[in-house]
């Protein structure tokens, strides 16, 4: 009883990390964020204007003595082309990126590169008229320099023809970033049920984000472009081996 | 022999137009989508190619290229082909894709009969469309060219008039610097900060909701373990107050979310205005600014002329070219070879009209497509756009008759049949006027509303 009273009196005592959910318009980012943060599907998703935020309490290193609760803020950014000139204010700061694409539409997967470069170029976008199409293509070295964890999620798995379901290839972008990949259907709660593979991957991703934000202070002080950074950029697998389960 | 040469030329140009439409489809329209049914692309490119061929034939008519008989043959061939696409193929495929998208139709075999039924309904309504209009006389048969052409003409002319009216008002508003509000960097930054503050408020409240919910869960689980009694009653009172708090918090969150959406839209508007201001300072921007003034003069003149036409019940008998030549000869006293110059001037005039109308329509279609489509409905929307495009171009051929000197009008009159052309011009004037006036009213209301909002502090 004592601890619950303490919880009620302290308002926001958990630390937070910020995850940005980007992808083309209509791929299902809002449904995805709703599913991740609330645990059940959204019966009537609407069209996102600007950004919609939702929060989830994530247990870092669950099941170990070092377990701690963190707030994970999921910022669901509108993918509409008309709103491209004002999106950049949401990209600062970013601790984790979730790239969402539609499995029934291959172009939304190819556009993920542009999305990644848009988020990573956020500093230069302030006050300029650079749109997504004119921004430079995603640069692997630049990405390795910033070392923000990335997760690639493919939605609308149920709407694929059965022939294509069997021949799904791993995402090229996920391989380049050293990111995990999840394919699911946002209208089914069982796809992120605790204990399922997807839930494990999600929780691993959030752990990586929290670790990169709070526990890698010493290594993040290195300037971008130093020799050690450049060496690391050629071995993206290095990032995966950093994280031990 | 000459006929085969001419046909070869015609077909080559048609293939070129077809490729142009194909590339436009791939690069612009379906930039963000995967093409799963090639038939959609084929039909769209075919409609585009046939429409461009119609315009090409007008140009050939003026310049006198190719043999007259082969021109006539190609006119008829083209017209029949495009009408077939507009009335049979496009509605059929639109219905087909709608029925395959809707999950209600489980049985695959039912799709074809349903589509056929829908097509028959479309044909019936298409027929009924001709009743309220004094289009043609009874002496024409049921399946003649005139029946079909007249109905398509009505729909197409309406579309053209609506788009022209809206464009005539929108163009000066967009291009002229007079209408642009002044926006400074400080305004935008202040607005940014406000939006981020609202987002932070939403986050704080949602976190509070989560913590309360977590406490309630812990309370519920610990309640089951302990016995009830004084402590039990006290605890239940504490949790119920948390519940009331929860409802209030959720309401506040909903309010803040609505505010954040509004702020974001305003921010987009501010950024667009700033981009426009920067663009107007460049050379290209200045050029468009001047063109904006010129074009707005033309739009005003057009609105006045339409009003005069309707009030005084007259339809333009002479085309601008002949009129210009008359004015030049009689009032300015310039002597030149009328027939020679009228041919070239009408060629240039008609050419400009054709190119701008094609380009304008394609841009509008692209914008509309980007706003409306999703990955499921993209096929249906593209086919509807192809239908609009076909009707638009066929009716522009009809209306263009007025812009050409009499010796060139003959072929259009001959091919399109005995239509009441005057009716179509009158109908265009009326719809154009209505569209222009309503878009002026719309812009005025929208401008007034943003003007009343407080300056971005």
Q: Measured between beta carbons, which residues in chain B are less than 8 angstroms from residue A85?
A: 268, 271-272, 275
- pLDDT given at position B380: 85
- Give A238's pLDDT tier (boundaries 50, 70, 90): very low
Chain B CA closest to residue A108: B32
Interface test with A, best of B200, B215, B240, B264 (most A CBs within 10 A): B264
Query: Is the minimum CB–CB distance between B334 and chain A shorter than 8 Å?
Result: no
In a domain, B262, yes or no: yes
Per-residue pLDDT at A123 exceeds 50: no
Q: What's the whole-model pTM score?
A: 0.70
pLDDT tens profile B262-294: 888 888 888 888 887 887 778 877 877 777 777
Q: Measured between beta carbons, which residues in chain B are less than 8 angstroms from residue A129?
A: 275, 278
Closest approach of A235 to chain B, Cα-based (Å): 32
Residues B207, A12: C-beta atoms closer than 8 Å: yes
- CB nearest B32 (choices: A4, A8, A24): A24
Query: Is the minimum CB–CB distance between B278 and chain A shorter than 8 Å?
Result: yes
Least reliable range by pLDDT among A126-130, B93-97, B331-335: A126-130
C-alpha to C-alpha distance for B328 and B119, rounded to whole angstroms: 53
Residues B199, A106: C-beta atoms closer than 8 Å: no
Residues B268, A8: C-beta atoms closer than 8 Å: no
Query: Is the minimum CB–CB distance between B381 and chain A shorter than 8 Å?
Result: no
Residues B206, A55: C-beta atoms closer than 8 Å: yes
In a domain, B110, yes or no: no
In a domain, B290, yes or no: no
* pLDDT greater at residue B136 or residue B359: B359
Q: Give mean pLDDT, residues B441-449.
A: 78
Q: Give mean pLDDT, residues B91-112.
A: 76
pLDDT tens profile B142-185: 566 677 777 888 888 888 888 878 777 777 776 665 666 777 88
Token pair in block for residue B154: 């009505």
Residue B105, classified by CB atoms within 10 Å of its CB into exposed (0-12), middle (13-18) or buried (19+), is middle
In a domain, B265, yes or no: yes
In a domain, B186, yes or no: yes
Phi and psi dihedrals of B65, rounded to 5? -85, 150
Per-residue pLDDT at B137 exceeds 80: no
Phi and psi dihedrals of A142, rounded to 5? -60, -40
Q: What percent of chain A has pLDDT over 90?
A: 0
**Of residues B222, B59, B407, the one with CA closest to residue A7:** B222
- pLDDT given at position A102: 83
pLDDT tens profile A102-116: 887 788 888 888 888
- Give B116's pLDDT tier (boundaries 50, 70, 90): confident
What is the residue-wise DSSP string for B111-136?
HHHHHHHHHHHHHHHHHHTTTTS---
Bridge partners (DSSP) listed for residue A71: A16, A57
> Which domain covers residue B275, as residue numbers?
181-285
- pLDDT given at position B339: 65
Least reliable range by pLDDT among A120-134, A225-239, B198-212, B252-266: A225-239
* pLDDT greater at residue A21 or residue A121: A21
- CA geometry: angle at B179 spanning B174 and B183, to 5°? 100
- pLDDT given at position A141: 58
- pLDDT given at position A6: 44
- pLDDT given at position B318: 58
Residues A73, B211: C-beta atoms closer than 8 Å: no
Chain A CA closest to residue B270: A86
Domain count, chain B: 1
C-alpha to C-alpha distance for A178 and A174, rounded to whole angstroms: 6
**Residue pair B194/B263 in contact by the 8 Å Cβ criterion:** yes
Under 8 Å CB pairs connecting chains A and B tally to 94
In a domain, B208, yes or no: yes
pLDDT tens profile A174-202: 777 777 788 877 777 777 777 788 888 88
Per-residue pLDDT at B110 exceeds 60: yes
Q: Measured between beta carbons, which residues in chain A are less than 8 angstroms from residue B238?
A: 8
- pLDDT given at position B453: 41
Residues A1, B195: C-beta atoms closer than 8 Å: no
**Of residues A50, A91, A48, the one with CA closest to residue B269:** A50
Query: Is the minimum CB–CB distance between B37 and chain A shorter than 8 Å?
Result: no
Residues A107, B34: C-beta atoms closer than 8 Å: yes
* pLDDT greater at residue B366 or residue B405: B366
pLDDT tens profile B23-75: 888 888 787 777 778 888 889 999 999 988 888 888 887 777 777 788 888 88
In a domain, B197, yes or no: yes
In a domain, B255, yes or no: yes
- CB nearest A102 (choices: B204, B268, B375): B375
């Amino acid at each position: 009883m004592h601890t619950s009273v303490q919880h009620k009196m302290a308002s926001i005592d958990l630390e937070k990390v910020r995850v940005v959910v980007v992808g083309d318009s209509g791929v299902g980012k809002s449904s995805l964020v709703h599913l991740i943060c609330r645990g059940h599907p959204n019966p009537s998703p609407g069209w996102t204007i600007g950004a919609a935020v939702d929060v989830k309490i994530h247990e870092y290193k669950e099941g170990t003595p070092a377990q701690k609760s963190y707030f994970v803020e999921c910022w669901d950014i509108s993918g509409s082309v008309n709103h491209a000139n004002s999106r950049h204010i949401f990209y600062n700061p970013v601790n984790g990126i979730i790239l969402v694409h539609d499995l029934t539409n291959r172009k939304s997967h190819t556009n993920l590169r542009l999305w990644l470069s848009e988020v990573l170029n956020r500093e230069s976008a302030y006050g300029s008229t650079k749109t997504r199409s004119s921004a430079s293509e995603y640069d692997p070295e630049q990405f390795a320099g910033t070392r923000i964890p990335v997760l690639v999620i493919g939605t609308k798995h149920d709407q694929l023809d059965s022939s294509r379901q069997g021949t799904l290839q791993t995402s090229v972008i996920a391989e380049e970033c050293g990111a995990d990949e999840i394919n699911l259907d946002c209208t089914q709660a069982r796809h992120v049920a605790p204990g399922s593979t997807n839930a494990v991957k999600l929780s691993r991703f959030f752990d990586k984000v929290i670790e990169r934000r709070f526990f890698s202070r010493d290594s993040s002080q290195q300037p971008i472009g130093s020799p050690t950074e450049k060496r690391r950029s050629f071995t993206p697998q290095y990032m995966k081996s950093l994280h031990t389960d | 022999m000459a006929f085969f040469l001419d046909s070869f030329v015609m077909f080559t140009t048609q293939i070129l137009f077809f490729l142009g439409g194909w590339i436009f489809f791939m690069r612009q329209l379906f930039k963000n989508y995967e093409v799963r049914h090639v038939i959609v692309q084929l039909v769209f490119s075919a409609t585009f190619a046939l429409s461009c061929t119609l315009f090409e034939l007008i140009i050939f008519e003026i310049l006198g290229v190719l043999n007259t008989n082969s021109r006539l043959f190609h006119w008829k061939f083209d017209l029949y082909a495009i009408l077939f696409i507009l009335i049979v193929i496009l509605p059929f495929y639109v219905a087909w894709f709608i029925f395959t998208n809707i999950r209600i139709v489980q049985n695959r075999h039912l799709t074809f009969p349903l589509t056929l039924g829908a097509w028959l309904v479309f044909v019936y309504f298409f027929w009924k469309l001709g009743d309220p209009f004094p289009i043609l006389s009874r002496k024409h048969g049921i399946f003649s060219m005139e029946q079909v052409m007249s109905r398509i003409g009505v729909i197409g002319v309406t579309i053209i008039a609506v788009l022209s009216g809206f464009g005539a008002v929108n163009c000066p508003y967009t291009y002229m610097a007079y209408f642009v509000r002044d926006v400074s960097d400080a305004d935008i930054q202040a607005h940014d900060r406000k939006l981020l503050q609202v987002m932070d408020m939403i986050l704080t409240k949602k976190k509070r909701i989560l913590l309360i919910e977590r406490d309630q869960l812990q309370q519920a689980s610990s309640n089951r373990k302990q016995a009830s009694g004084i402590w039990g009653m006290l605890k239940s009172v504490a949790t119920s107050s948390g519940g009331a708090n929860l409802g209030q918090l959720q309401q506040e969150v909903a309010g803040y979310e609505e505010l954040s959406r509004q702020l974001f839209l305003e921010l987009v508007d501010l950024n667009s205005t700033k981009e426009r201001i920067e663009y107007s300072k460049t050379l290209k921007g200045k050029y468009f600014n001047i063109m904006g003034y010129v074009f707005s003069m033309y739009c005003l003149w057009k609105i006045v002329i339409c009003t005069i036409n309707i009030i005084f019940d007259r339809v333009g008998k002479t085309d601008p070219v002949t009129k210009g030549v008359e004015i030049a000869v009689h009032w300015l006293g310039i002597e030149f070879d009328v027939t020679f110059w009228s041919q070239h001037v009408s060629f240039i005039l008609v050419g400009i009209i054709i190119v701008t109308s094609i380009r304008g329509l394609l841009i509008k279609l692209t914008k509309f497509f980007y706003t409306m489509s999703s990955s499921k409905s993209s096929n249906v929307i593209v086919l509807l756009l192809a239908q609009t495009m076909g009707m638009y171009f066929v009716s522009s051929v009809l209306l263009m008759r007025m812009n050409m000197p009499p010796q060139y009008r003959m072929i259009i009159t001959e091919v399109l049949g005995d239509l009441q052309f005057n009716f179509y011009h009158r109908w265009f004037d009326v719809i154009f006027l209505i569209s222009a006036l309503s878009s002026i009213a719309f812009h005025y209301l929208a401008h007034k509303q943003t003007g009343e909002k407080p300056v971005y502090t």
